[in-house]
């Protein structure tokens, strides 16, 4: 079965760090650009970051540049999002997606003191 | 940034009738490869988004053919024929033409 499964979310204080993971299965992971998309409570979809097939190119929305780092391990079929200097406005459900085609179930990140 | 404007914000439909949702782009979504980079998603309550349509008019695998999409380079319409109760949720358009990727603000479909 084709699947994406996120993990690593939780409650974190402002200014702290958190690392999200996404495990892919059922398809050739290295064939796809990957992305993280988030959704704040009761809000719409917001693209966060993307990474190329081999990880050589990365792209970020302005509000997370310098704070978030997207990476991948094709040998492990896994995608990551290292989130540093977290802010309250980063509170959202984070979705792992294969170039906006297949989506995971999402993982909640709450930034609050 | 490309702005995608959806209308209406919400729509209420009687089962068996049709519904249409509009998505207007601030820039042409036609790529240099001749592909129109417009995607439609349905997010059912409490669930993650599900791809319905890719590259403007192609039905994603497993999606009923009650769903269809058409458009030009900047104006797009998702049509749902014979609406069923399982179609309830929020519909989003999105693009992959360039970074940042952006989405419309969503259209909520309810059943009368």
pLDDT of residue B107: 98
For the residues B2-8, what does the mean pLDDT come to?
Answer: 98
Give tens-digit pLDDT for B49-104: 999 999 999 999 999 999 999 999 999 999 999 999 999 999 999 999 999 999 99
Query: Taking chain A (113 residues) in consecutive chunks of 10 residues, what is each chunk's mean pLDDT?
Result: 97 98 97 97 97 97 98 98 98 96 97 97
The predicted structure's pLDDT at residue A69:
98
Q: Give the Cβ contact number of residue A42 at 10 Å.
A: 5
Please judge whether A103 and B99 are an interchain contact, meaning their C-beta atoms are less than 8 angstroms apart: no
Question: Residue A55: what pLDDT?
Answer: 96
Strands, E, within chain A: which ranges?
3-7, 10-12, 18-25, 34-39, 46-51, 58-60, 68-73, 78-83, 92-97, 107-111
Q: Alpha-carbon distance B87 to A45, whole Å?
A: 19
Q: How does pLDDT run across A89-100, given as a tens digit for each residue?
A: 999 999 999 989
B108 interface with A at CB cutoff 8 Å: no
What pLDDT does A19 receive? 98
Contact B50 A103 (CB under 8 A): yes
DSSP B101: P
Q: How far apart are the first and last CA of chain B?
A: 36
- Closest CA–CA distance from residue A64 to any residue of chain B (Å): 12
B chain contacts of residue A46, beta-carbon cutoff 8 Å? 103
Which residue do the tokens 């049709």 mark? B18
pLDDT at res. A9: 97
Strand partners, A103: A97
User: Tokens 């704040």 — which residue?
Assistant: A40
Dihedral through CA A7, CA B98, CA A68, CA A93, nearest 10? -40
Half-sphere exposure at residue B31, Cβ-oriented, CA atoms within 13 angstroms:
11
Token pair listed for A36: 């993280």
Look at B103 and A44 and tell me if their CB atoms are within 8 Å. Answer: yes
Report, in angstroms and rounded to the nearest whole number, the Rg of chain A calculated over CA atoms: 13
**Residue B6 and residue B104 in contact, taking contact as beta carbons nearer than 8 Å:** yes
């Amino acid at each position: 079965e084709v699947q994406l499964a996120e993990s690593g979310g939780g409650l974190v204080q402002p200014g702290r760090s958190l690392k999200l993971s996404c495990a892919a299965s059922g398809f050739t992971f290295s064939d796809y650009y990957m992305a993280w998309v988030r959704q704040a409570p009761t809000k719409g979809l917001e693209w966060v970051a993307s990474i190329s097939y081999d990880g050589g190119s990365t792209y970020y929305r302005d509000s997370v540049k310098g704070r978030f780092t997207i990476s991948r391990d094709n040998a492990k079929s896994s995608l990551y999002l290292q989130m540093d200097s977290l802010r309250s406005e980063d509170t959202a459900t984070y979705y792992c997606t294969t170039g906006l085609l297949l989506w995971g179930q999402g993982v909640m990140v709450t930034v609050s003191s | 940034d490309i702005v995608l404007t959806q209308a209406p914000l919400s729509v209420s439909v009687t089962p068996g009738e049709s519904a249409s949702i509009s998505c207007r782009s601030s820039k042409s979504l036609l790529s240099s490869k001749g592909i129109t980079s417009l995607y439609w998603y349905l997010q059912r309550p409490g669930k993650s988004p599900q791809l319905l349509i890719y590259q403007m008019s192609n039905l994603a695998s497993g999606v009923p053919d009650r769903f269809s999409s058409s458009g030009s380079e900047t104006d797009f319409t998702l049509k749902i024929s014979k609406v069923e109760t399982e179609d309830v949720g929020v519909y989003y358009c999105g693009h992959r033409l360039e970074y940042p990727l952006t989405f419309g603000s969503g259209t909520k479909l309810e059943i009368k």
